[in-house]
Each structure stands twice: as structure tokens, then as C-alpha cells.
Amino acid sequence: MVILTLNCGSSSAKYQVYDWEAKDILAVGIVEKVTLGGSFISHKVKGQEEYVASHDCPTHTDAVGLIIKTLTSGEHGVISDMSVIKAVGHRVLHGGDKFIKSVIVDDKAMAAFNEVKDLGPLHNPANIMGIEAAKKVLPDVPHCAVMDTAWHQTMPPESFLYAVPYEWYEKYSVRRYGFHGTSFLYTAKRAAVLLGKDPFRTNLVICHLGNGSSVNAVKNGCSFDTSMGITPLEGLVMGTRSGDADLAMPFYVMRKTGMSAAEMETVLNKKSGLLGITGKYADRRDIQKAKLEGDKRAELAQNMEAHRVKKYIGAYQAVLGRVDALVFTAGVGEFAAFMRKKILDGLEETGIVYDPEKNDMSHTRNTETIISKPESKIPVYIIPTDEELVMTEDAFALMNGTYDVHTKFTYSFQSKDYVNKGRAEGLREELARHPELEKIIANPK
């Protein structure tokens, strides 16, 4: 049985093809620059070189069509025809407060997604188009929606409400929703395995650091608070998003410049954050290179990003009372040792003591690592996220009628014996090149 997962972003369409019986990934890929012109597909089949081809995709429907064509092609495909696919899992950014778990997509669900798409204007329309396009190609299989916001529906009112007129919540659904939920679900469950604890007696602070970034306070295995808000703009300093700012600031600048509300929204989402501070860069690798070359604004951007993450770590330690582990995940969290260093330096008094040598060694997506010193009261883990696996398992369980909210459902990766075959193979190759990596591998207790 093959399960396809699709993640349609504002200008991209990521996919994964998973063989359920073999518990193995057959292919992964992404169509980039969808709607922008100059679009292309990057397609990787297990054991083969990456295939890259240009193909114009003016809509997400075209992108899904290109994915299907590539998956079934004689030269680069991994399936004979589309009848092999038995379920499709779709990432949906914003489910509002209408969904507490993943669902099979029906007319009612689609109506709900359209109803809340103003809450996720950059992503939800693309998510919806991806679902509609896939349903046209695969009309007879279940299509399952996995919402980024569902994980955070356990937050209490004191966490999710804003101190604004209460009727805004009642009339317009104004509240904190939070995002990166699929990533937080995976990393929270894996952290409990590594700690050898019951997941529902585990308190965590998880830092999902990528182009978009957020921090999650997990209390007794459930989301308790998170840094993103009604949209993904709030919270940390991100690649192009401002994160936290005085709410009066945009009005002040609009009065000074004559900028419209739509223009201000674009600036705060697409021209701020690290890009806004440096004036050039949103990618941390570019910023690190510029800093090492003496660029003071690049250094300032790094310091601002790390400072904001530190604030949230400290705040969530206070909110949780007891923290069983600090976790880093996503592209920056998993690979940018220089950013982790900036964040972790000076946290010793809070019970977090990291090992700089171990931190520098951890640069992998093939295994979970621990970079704290033995005397650290709070262990520091780096857990490579796997949102696609969560989507795949949700889709399979929904198809079979065995799925439920995560507090009543057990994933395969919650076993201490769980092995990701692709990552295990990659780790063997990596250890052959860097045997010292063995020292920091985090094993389940």
C-alpha cells in the first residue's frame, strides 16, 4: 500500500511517497516557484541521483499534475499508475478552532477551510487548491487533512486569548492558534521516548527554528502555550517575519509614510525579520558568512534572533515550572550550531548546561542527538522532525477507522524500537565518514 503526502505552500508543493508495508520512503520531492514563473521539480528516488527538471506551473493544479506525471514516469517514477496510491495526506496550515485532530476531507471540511482562509491568506488558498487538484486526479481514495493548528487546541484560555474586547473572539475568532503543530507533535512524542517517560507526564520546551520559527511549551504531553498567534507573524524573529512588535508601531509608520494596511501586512510578513535587519539576507548561512566577514548588521540580526528565543525559553520555563528537556528541531534548529550556541550561552543558571564540542558535532538529520553536559539539570536534544510521517500515519489510520486525537492514539515512532529506515541508512554512511558522531547519539532510556 502506498500513501502520498502533499504539502502545498504559497509558491511550492512538497511531496512524499511512502510504502506502508515496507515502512519505507520511495520518493520525496518539491515543485518550487509555483505561480511565480521559472518553476521546476526536484525529485529524489531512494538509491538514485536527484532528478531536476524545469516545468512551468502557473497554478498548484499544474504542480500536482507534474508530481503525478513524475511519479508514474517510466524513467523517474516509483509507481506503475495512480491506482497504487490508497490515501493522500494533505498539510493544511490553518484549521481555526474547528479541528482538534486530522480529518478525512469532505464537503464540510472544505467549507471550514474556506471559512478560515482569511486567517492564513498566504497558505490556506494554496492548501485548498492542492487538495482540490489531488482529488481530481485521485477521486476514489480518502484525502486526509492534517492541520498545523490542531495540536495547539489543548491550550487553556489564559494562553490562547488576547486581552482585547472579548466579543472579537466570539464574533471573529480572534485568538492565538499556533502553528508547526505536526512538527511539535512528532518531536514531543520522540522526546518522551528519549527520556523514557510517559508522554503525558512530560514537560518540554521545543524550539522549531526554520525560515518560520516558533517555540512550544508542552505540559503533560500537550500544547500549553506557543509563540505564534492568530497568524504565523507573532513570536520569534524569523527569516522575513518581524515576530513580536508593539501593536501601535504599524499605525505610526502608516501615518508617517502613507502606507496602506495591505502594504504594511506585506512588509511585516515578507520584508522584516532577519531580511529587514540585514537588508540583504534571510538565510542564516548567508548571515553567518556575512557576520564572519565583518557585517555588523548581520551580527545584530543573529543577536536579535537568539535574544528572542532565549526570552521564550525562559518564559516557558516559568510557565511550566518543571522542564524535562529542551528540544531543537527544523532546519536551523537541526543544523545551525552557531545559532544554538548563541541561544544556549548564559542559560546555566536556569539549569541548561550545553557542551560546545557536542553542539558543534551535531549537524545531521539522520539521528537524534544530545548536546548537554551530564551535569545539566535539563537535557538538550536535537530531534530531526518528520512531519510527513505524522501525515502518513494519520492518513492510514483515518482510512482504516482507527484514528483519534493524539491523547488517545499511539504512533509507530512512540516505540523505543522505532527505526526510520532511510535515516538509519544515512546514519551508517555518515558514521563511516564521521565516527565521532557516535558520542552524541541520543538513545532511548
The better pLDDT of the pair 68, 326 is held by: 326
Those residues whose C-beta lies under 8 Å from the C-beta of residue 208, and which sit 6 or more positions away, are: 180, 183, 184, 187, 214, 215, 216, 329, 330, 333, 385
Predicted confidence (pLDDT) at residue 237 exceeds the cutoff of 90: yes
Residue 272 pLDDT:
96
Rounded distance, CA 340 to CA 355, Å? Answer: 11
Rounded distance, CA 406 to CA 222, Å? Answer: 9
Predicted confidence (pLDDT) at residue 336 exceeds the cutoff of 80: yes
Residues of the chain with CATH 3.30.420.40: 2-147, 198-383+436-440
Residue 98 pLDDT:
85
The better pLDDT of the pair 371, 283 is held by: 371
DSSP assignment letter at 441:
B
Residue 200 pLDDT:
97
Residue 256 pLDDT:
98
pLDDT digits (tens, 9 = 90+) for 380-392: 999 999 999 999 9
Residue 251 pLDDT:
97
Going by their DSSP bridges, the two strands 24-32 and 40-45 should be labelled as antiparallel
Share of the chain above pLDDT 70, in %: 100
For 168-205, letters b (16+ CB in 10 Å) and e give ebeeebbbbbbbbbbbbbbbbbbbbbbbebebeebbbb
Residue 125 pLDDT:
84
What is the CATH architecture of 198-383+436-440? 2-Layer Sandwich (3.30)
**What band does 305 get if pLDDT is binned at 50, 70 and 90?**
very high
- Look over the chain and give the mean of its residue pLDDT values, rounded to a whole number: 94
Question: 283 in helix, strand or coil?
Answer: coil
pLDDT digits (tens, 9 = 90+) for 97-146: 889 999 999 999 999 988 888 787 777 888 888 899 888 888 989 999 99
Residue 116 pLDDT:
85
What is the dihedral sign for C-alpha 427, 433, 438, 442? negative
**What band does 48 get if pLDDT is binned at 50, 70 and 90?**
confident
- Check: CB of residue 350 under 8 Å from CB of residue 406: no
Q: Which helix (H) or strand (E) holds 144?
A: strand 143-147
- Check: CB of residue 121 under 8 Å from CB of residue 114: no
The CATH classification of domain 2-147, taken from the options 3.30.420.40, 3.40.50.2300, 3.40.50.2020, 2.30.30.100:
3.30.420.40
- When pLDDT is averaged across residues 420-435 and rounded to a whole number, the result is 93
Predicted confidence (pLDDT) at residue 34 exceeds the cutoff of 90: no
pLDDT digits (tens, 9 = 90+) for 166-219: 999 999 999 999 999 999 999 999 999 999 999 999 999 999 999 899 999 999
- Residue 90's beta-bridge partner residues? 6, 145
Residue 202, amino acid: T
Predicted confidence (pLDDT) at residue 326 exceeds the cutoff of 80: yes
Catalytic residues: 148
State the virtual CA torsion across 351, 213, 388, 385 in degrees, nearest 10: -20
Residue 119 pLDDT:
80
The better pLDDT of the pair 430, 82 is held by: 430
**What band does 324 get if pLDDT is binned at 50, 70 and 90?**
very high
